[in-house]
Amino acid sequence: MKMDAVTTTSSRKGKLRNGKAPRLGRADRSALGRWFWEIDLVLLALVTVLIGIGLIAVAAASPAAGVRYSDGAVQFPPLYYFYRQCIWLAIGVPVMFVVSMLPKDLARRLCLIGAAVFVVALMLTPFIGHQVNGARRWLGVGGLQIQPSEFLKPLYVVAMAWLLSLKQHDRTLPVVPLSFLATGFIAACLMKQPDFGQTVIFLLMWTALLTLSGAPLKGLAALAGLGVAAVVAAYLFYPVATLRINNFLFQSGDTYQVDSARRTLMHGGLFGTGPGAGTMKFKLPEPHTDYIFSVIGEEFGLIACLAIALIYVAILVRVFVKLLDEEDTFILLAGAGLATQFGAQAIINMAVNVQLAPSKGMTLPFISYGGSSMVALSMGFGLLLAFTRRNPYLSRSPYVVTWNQSR
């Protein structure tokens, strides 16, 4: 009798007067309905908050960027970069939602194809790329400039997760050497541009994936030693790394950027000067991209900066807690790798702004202005949402699952 009562009550709740299931109700078995109940709504809410904060921050930094990049021939209006950021969000947000709806197997296949395409694009960038400030990191496609390394990061994570997960099926496969060769090739292409910051991100992602895949401690220790040797070699033989490390450790050469960022960050105190009232931001070289965290500190205060850092921490904690009971090795590696990429990029950007790391030209995820960065981050977070989707009925009792399936 109790089961009949539950069935009758649930049937009444699950249908409208016209006999149709309510949109986004638990009885809605459409693609959108399944997505809504399977997606991690907490992660979705947190990234939505970041996007909103980013719009406010870009609006605050846009006047300073407009003044800096205006000249006698071109004058940018105060909110020029804010309007452009709205355009990029209009592209990026739908991309994130569409990617988050993909079945996991299809998402993996598309990522493998996409990784191959963007590795080729990365190879071509140092030779035919658009040069800015002495670096070739962008390819021109029509009237647009895209940065292949930004799009490659999430695709690389998924591709490496798939490769390393093959070890579970066949222990004889040389997946670790293959991943080392692939990562080394990508790092060489990035150093050729040069792009030292992105090289560090790729190496961090590879190390995290190796660790999670169960690499032996001896191998990880050897990798750590190799990493130290690589940093020393980069310092001795790679001029870009030499300049960045010298500026950071010995305050030699031009430290104007990081010094200006720290002064701007501290100028607002705990509560900031107020929206639009910042003055130090006009001295920043990249107020809307690399140093937007300092602009937030000046106009909204150090408490706002701390709140933003906590949002990033909450996203990472949420992802790793979701993955604790994951049994699929590929999903575990892909989700953890994507979270590592997201978190590492945020940490590096904030560390540069407070002079805890050398300048690397790294954007703050979903807050900094950027076209390639925004669309690529949206794609990457969409993949993260896709790989952390869970069927809400799996945790219920067998009777309820059977009843729902029988409908």
Report which residue type is found at 208. A
Query: Are the beta carbons of 292 and 58 closer than 8 angstroms?
Result: yes
pLDDT at position 12, please? 46
pLDDT at position 292, please? 94
Is 1 a member of any domain?
A: no
List Cα–Cα distances, 58 to 112, 168, 184, 331, in angstroms: 33, 45, 35, 34
Is 9 a member of any domain?
A: no
Is 3 a member of any domain?
A: no
pLDDT at position 29, please? 65
Residue 2 scores a pLDDT above 80? no
Is 16 a member of any domain?
A: no
Report which residue type is found at 256. Y
Residue 18 scores a pLDDT above 60? no
Q: What is the per-residue pLDDT across 341-396, written as a single tens digit (0 to 9) for each?
A: 999 999 999 998 988 887 777 899 999 998 889 999 999 999 999 999 886 655 44
pLDDT-based confidence at residue 1 (cuts at 50, 70, 90): very low
Out of 51-60, 242-251, 316-325, least confident range? 242-251
> What Rg do the C-alpha atoms of the chain give, in angstroms?
24
pLDDT-based confidence at residue 252 (cuts at 50, 70, 90): low
- What are residue 132's phi and psi, to 5 degrees? -135, 125
Is 11 a member of any domain?
A: no
pLDDT at position 196, please? 81
Is 7 a member of any domain?
A: no
List Cα–Cα distances, 180 to 152, 177, 276, in angstroms: 16, 5, 48
Tokens of 367: 């807050």
- Of residues 247 and 185, the one with the higher pLDDT is 185
Is 196 a member of any domain?
A: yes
In the chain, the number of structural domains is 1
Residue 7 scores a pLDDT above 60? no
Residue 16 scores a pLDDT above 80? no
Out of 81-90, 94-103, 226-235, least confident range? 226-235
Q: Tell me which residue range forms the domain holding 155.
A: 23-401
pLDDT-based confidence at residue 185 (cuts at 50, 70, 90): very high
Q: What is the per-residue pLDDT across 213-225, written as a single tens digit (0 to 9) for each?
A: 887 777 778 878 8
List Cα–Cα distances, 174 to 155, 167, 218, in angstroms: 21, 8, 17
pLDDT at position 241, please? 76
pLDDT at position 3, please? 47
Residue 46 scores a pLDDT above 90? yes
Is 111 a member of any domain?
A: yes
Q: Which range, 174-178, 227-231, 253-257, 398-402, is most confident?
A: 174-178
pLDDT at position 143, please? 67
